[in-house]
């Protein structure tokens, strides 16, 4: 039960995050198609990201088990008085279920209403579109490939504008966006931001259709007059794309607005640091495990040298390892049976450590796949005695965990200069929001019961009238968000002003970063040459080492999981 509430809270928080990012940064930009995918990505992220959890294991010292006096515990349990407590979890689920069922009924009623409009009408097929000319006094709308309108209410030029607009909705499958937003309103009806989120999705779809349709129509002013004329029609069919929209002023403003500059696309990435912070704060599960007793090594080696051989090690690097072993430790090795794949990665190798005339140790790896890391480990005691051993993969990745000593890893890589770190973009200011309008569940209308025999015309007509009355009451029952939206908008504008100041500081920091990058580039050119070939080689080696590090970390995680399974079995 608690897990469900936590999931709902996380999902609701992510919805608020994406809406704030859209409201503060993107709603005034003309990147309409990008805004569409950003808003849909926000809904998908809010559902999927709370499921992703990273497990982190923390090792702790063993805790001694306290001795329990079972007789005392038994007596204490028996004398405990029974008390009646309200289970608030069940109360919350009951309230949620009532709102959920009411909106599901409204959703089904909307589909029924839509079906009654489309049923029995003459369909005119043209290309991928199905046109339906109705006699009802309703606003034009599209539903997937259906385009519905009343031709008697408009002139030919007005009808052309309307049809071009609805074609965009149909061609780009905007009905899917409408249905998805409705589904989220049903699931998260208690979150007032989801209703604003749905409104933002629908408005943006209208901006897309207006933008595309106006380019195909020669008279842009006539198109805007058509928008104003359609606003007089108040009857709309739900779960469809309406040509009618109450915020007509915004649509006309966006039609006449200049195209946003491409450099403003950085605003889409501002949400990424917030998502990373969300993962680190809420999606990391820490598991505490007791340390196992480890026997102490009486005399650990004074130093250890590890010469790694990876699947990306070249023939020149193998020769370099061989020369260093001879020079530093007077150890002879023989490398043979070297095979590589088409990507020049090692698939087979044999390494022999030789002492005098005989062989001391041998390691041979072969197969179709690329090899795992292996290496030669030379440990020296305080008295100068050296021990030579060959190790593979997991043992070479973390010898310092197995043996408590300092490790000197010798690898054929050059030292590198770390490039400057870019500044972190500012985070939106947060704080308390005004209380959303409450929903009085006692005033919720009851849906009518359909007749047992659908073919009975009188009963069906009465049912349709009752359904129309039910829909009217449900529309009035939905919370009035206008006052709440105005309060939210005022708070958002104040926070936007604070954010703009932070962005000015961020721009200054970015200028400094650009200057540091120029110095860094100049340093690289001076050290490695203007042709940058040496620098590219250097960076490729650095990338290889980072991949090796990531691989070793994954192997380390596997070891921890193995230890966890063994501890559970024991």
User: What secondary structure does DSSP assign to 32-55, as a single string?
Assistant: HHHHHHHHHHHHHHHHHGGG--EE
Query: By the 8 A CB rule, do 340 and 414 touch?
Result: no
Cα separations in angstroms, 504 against 281, 426, 510: 28, 10, 10
Answer for the pair 213, 51: CB distance below 8 angstroms, yes or no: no
* Inter-residue contact 205 to 169 (CB < 8 Å): yes
Q: What pLDDT is stored for residue 2 in this prediction?
A: 78
Q: What is the largest CA-CA distance in the chain?
A: 108
- Do strands 284-290 and 54-60 pair parallel, antiparallel, or not at all (unpaired)? parallel
Give the C-alpha distances (Å, rounded to integers) separating 551 from 372, 394, 557: 10, 10, 10
pLDDT value of position 406 = 33
The pTM is what?
A: 0.52
Give the start-to-end residue ranges of the domains of the chain.
Answer: 8-60+267-289, 121-257, 303-410
- Rounded Cα distance between 415 and 317, Å, is 16
The DSSP secondary structure of 509-532, one letter per residue, reads: HHHHHHHHHHHHHHHHHHHH-TT-
**Strand 358-365 versus strand 374-380 pairing type:** unpaired
Instruction: With beta carbons less than 8 A apart as the criterion, state whether 227 and 165 touch.
Output: no
Q: How far apart are CA 276 and CA 283, in angstroms?
A: 10
Q: The dihedral of CA 265, 271, 273, 276: what is its sign?
A: negative
In this structure, the chain runs to a length of 570
Nearest to 310 by CA among 400, 413, 387: 413
What's the pLDDT at 398? Answer: 40
Three-state secondary-structure class, residue 340? strand
Name the token pair of 203.
Answer: 């408005």
- Residue 379, SS3 per DSSP: strand
Query: By the 8 A CB rule, do 239 and 114 touch?
Result: yes
- Residue 154 phi, psi (nearest 5): -135, 160
Task: Compute the 3-state secondary structure of the chain and give helix, strand, coil in percent, each to the nearest 5.
Answer: 55, 15, 30
Inter-helix orientation angle 32-48/2-21, to 10°: 160
Would residue 532 be called left, alpha or beta, if left means φ above 0 and alpha means ψ between -120 and 50 degrees? left
Binned average pLDDT, 10 residues per bin, the chain of 570 residues: 86 94 92 95 95 75 50 42 72 91 92 89 92 90 93 89 93 96 94 94 94 86 79 60 63 84 88 88 74 48 74 87 84 85 84 62 72 77 70 49 33 51 74 71 73 79 82 69 76 81 80 77 64 61 66 63 53
Structure tokens at 250: 């915004």
Token pair in block for residue 145? 């490939």
| Tokens 């005695």 sit on residue | 385
Pick from 34, 30, 12: nearest CA to 195: 12
Question: What is the pLDDT at residue 309?
Answer: 84
According to DSSP, the residues that pair with 57 across neighbouring strands are 287
Which secondary-structure segment (H or E) carries 353?
A: strand 346-355
**Encoded tokens for 182:** 């409705």
């Amino acid at each position: 039960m608690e897990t469900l509430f936590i999931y709902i809270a996380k999902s609701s928080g992510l919805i608020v995050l994406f809406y704030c990012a859209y409201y503060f940064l993107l709603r005034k930009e003309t990147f309409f198609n990008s805004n569409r995918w950003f808003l849909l990505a926000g809904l998908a992220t809010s559902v999927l990201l709370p499921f992703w959890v990273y497990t982190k294991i923390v090792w702790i010292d063993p805790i001694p088990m306290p001795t329990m006096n079972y007789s005392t515990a038994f007596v204490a349990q028996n004398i405990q008085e029974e008390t009646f407590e309200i289970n608030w979890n069940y109360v919350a689920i009951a309230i949620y279920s009532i709102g959920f069922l009411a909106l599901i009924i409204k959703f089904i009623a909307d589909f029924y209403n839509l079906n009654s409009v489309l049923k029995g009408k003459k369909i005119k097929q043209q290309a991928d579109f199905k046109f339906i000319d109705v006699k009802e006094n309703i606003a034009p709308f599209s539903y997937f490939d259906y385009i519905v309108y009343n031709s008697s209410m408009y002139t030919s030029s007005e009808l052309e504008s309307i049809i071009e607009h609805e074609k965009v909705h149909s061609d780009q499958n905007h009905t899917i966006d409408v249905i998805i937003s409705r589904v989220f309103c049903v699931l998260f009806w208690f979150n007032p931001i989801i209703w604003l989120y749905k409104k933002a999705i629908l408005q943006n779809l209208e901006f897309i259709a207006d933008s595309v349709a106006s380019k195909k129509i020669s008279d842009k002013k006539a198109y805007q007059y058509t928008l104003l004329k359609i606003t007089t029609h108040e009857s709309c069919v739900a779960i469809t794309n309406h040509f009618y929209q109450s915020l007509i002023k915004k649509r006309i403003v966006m039609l006449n607005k200049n195209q946003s500059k491409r450099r403003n696309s950085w605003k889409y990435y501002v949400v990424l640091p917030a998502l990373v912070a969300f993962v680190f704060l809420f999606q990391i599960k820490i598991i505490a495990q007791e340390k196992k007793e480890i026997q102490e090594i009486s005399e650990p080696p004074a130093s250890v040298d590890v010469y790694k051989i990876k699947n990306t090690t070249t023939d020149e690097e193998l020769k370099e390892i061989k020369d260093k072993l001879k020079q530093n430790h007077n150890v002879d090795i023989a490398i043979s049976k070297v095979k590589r794949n088409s990507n020049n990665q090692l698939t087979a190798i044999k390494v022999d450590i030789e002492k005098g005339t005989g062989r001391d140790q041998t390691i041979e790896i072969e197969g179709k796949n690329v090899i795992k890391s292996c290496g030669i480990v030379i440990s020296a005691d305080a008295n100068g005695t050296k021990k030579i051993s060959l190790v593979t993969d997991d043992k070479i990745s973390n010898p310092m965990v197995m043996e408590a000593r300092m490790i000197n890893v010798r690898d054929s890589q050059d030292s590198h200069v770390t490039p400057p770190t870019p500044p972190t973009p500012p985070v939106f200011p947060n704080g308390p929001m005004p209380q959303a309008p409450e929903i009085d569940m006692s005033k919720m209308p009851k849906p009518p019961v359909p007749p047992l025999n659908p073919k009975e015309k009188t009963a069906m007509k009465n049912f349709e009238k009752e359904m129309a009355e039910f829909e009217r009451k449900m529309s009035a029952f939905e919370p009035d968000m206008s006052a709440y939206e105005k309060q939210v908008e005022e708070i958002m504008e104040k926070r936007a002003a604070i954010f703009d100041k932070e962005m000015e500081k961020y721009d200054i920091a970015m200028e400094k970063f650009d200057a540091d990058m120029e110095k860094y580039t100049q340093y690289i050119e001076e050290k490695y040459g203007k042709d940058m070939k040496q620098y590219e080689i250097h960076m490729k080696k650095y990338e290889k080492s980072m991949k090796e590090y990531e691989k070793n970390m994954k192997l380390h995680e596997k070891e921890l999981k193995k230890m966890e399974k063994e501890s559970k079995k024991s």
